[in-house]
Amino acid sequence: MTLAAPVGYRRMDLLRTPDDRFADLPDFPFEPHYVEISDGIRVHYLDEGPGSTGETILLMHGEPTWSYLYRKMIPGLVAAGHRVVAPDLVGFGRSDKPAKRDDYTYERHVGWMRETLDAVDLDGLTFFGQDWGGLIGLVLVAQQPERFRRVVASNTALPPGIDVDLGEAFKAWRTFSQEVPEFPAGRIVGGGGAAISAQLSDEEIAAYDAPFPDETYKEGARQFPMLVPESANDPAAPMLQKAWESMSKFDRPFLCAFGDSDPVTGGIDGFLKAAIPGAAGQPHVTLEGVGHFCQEMAPDQLVEIINAFVAATPAGG
């Protein structure tokens, strides 16, 4: 389905995945919620649990997944009394998908998610981000630190905005993402590859493919690997340098929970622990035998980590 931009919005060609693609997904009983942001984009998010006695947990996914990635974690977080909000990034899941590659930029992704948090009126957040969920979400933390009470980073990074070597594993992934004739989203998550964390059923793999009826819906998934900055000349570098100025002063609780079998993000947790004041003295966790998609391989452990972290770091404490 192709959507025309409403009057008053900048023209952007958008695709919207038909609802029937999301019917009867395994272990996914959650009701969809939507907000409309700038550029006429409709963003989907999950919103579970009353949160009346707990806190609000913001879960952000990365590439090439969507909020389905959190289906095993949401029940345990809700059972602890928390409200859980899990948006689909623009270009993924049930959110609208700009049809042109050059409509996707790092700065736009950050802006789109900032607008989403505003539209849903989210504050006092515990943030959990993995992969691009962290690359985007940690910029949001840096830009609006007062909005976040604590942070859990897992298999993710906040790029420094300077000249860096992204490593051979990431470079191989980037090459694959651009050259593979059909981008196999579901198989990337659960069927093989350097950063795989779990073997999924055919039905679960199909659920990860559901947002993408054909290759035209995958421009965001194709573009994400190209948006990771490796040079100070990158368009996103000034935004990231400013973000690091903020995070170098961020003293609210910051916890790392990284899998030890992720060739792409291995070692980044050490950098985050050393660079962010709020990480000092926290009970950082190494997820043993866990690869990139930690939500698939260690969901119960992550739920325990988040719930214990929230309990140990009360707001204002």
- 21-34 pLDDT, tens digit each: 999 999 999 999 99
Q: Tens of pLDDT along 226-277?
A: 999 999 999 999 999 999 999 999 999 999 999 999 989 989 999 999 999 9
Among the listed residues 131, 234, 269, 284, the single catalytic one is: 131
Least confident of 201-205, 229-233, 240-244, 313-317: 313-317
In the predicted structure, residue 5 carries a pLDDT above the cut 50: no
In the predicted structure, residue 184 carries a pLDDT above the cut 50: yes
Residue-level pLDDT at 194: 42
The confidence band for 50, taking pLDDT boundaries of 50, 70 and 90, is: confident
The confidence band for 1, taking pLDDT boundaries of 50, 70 and 90, is: low
Contacts with 4 (C-beta within 8 Å, 6 or more apart), sequence order: none
| % of the chain at pLDDT higher than 90 | 87
In the predicted structure, residue 170 carries a pLDDT above the cut 90: yes
Residue-level pLDDT at 314: 85
CATH architecture of 2-312: 3-Layer(aba) Sandwich (3.40)
Using CA atoms, how far residue 81 sits from 31, 73, 154, 314, in Å, is: 18, 13, 22, 14
Residue 100 corresponds to which amino acid?
Answer: K
Burial 173-189 (b: 16+ CB within 10 A, else e): bbeebeeeeebbbbbbb
In the predicted structure, residue 2 carries a pLDDT above the cut 60: no
262 assigned to active site: yes
Per the prediction, the chain carries an average pLDDT of 93
Domain boundaries, the chain: 2-312
Residue 58: count other Cβ atoms within 10 Å of its Cβ.
Answer: 25
Least confident of 67-81, 139-153, 177-191: 177-191
The confidence band for 93, taking pLDDT boundaries of 50, 70 and 90, is: very high
The single residue listed with the structure tokens 């604590």 is 150
CA-nearest of 100, 133, 108, 119 to 35 is: 119
Strand 14-15: give its sheet, edge to edge: 2-3, 14-15, 97-98
In the predicted structure, residue 185 carries a pLDDT above the cut 50: yes
121 assigned to active site: no
151 in Cβ contact with 253 (< 8 Å): yes
Among the listed residues 39, 262, 269, 284, the single catalytic one is: 262
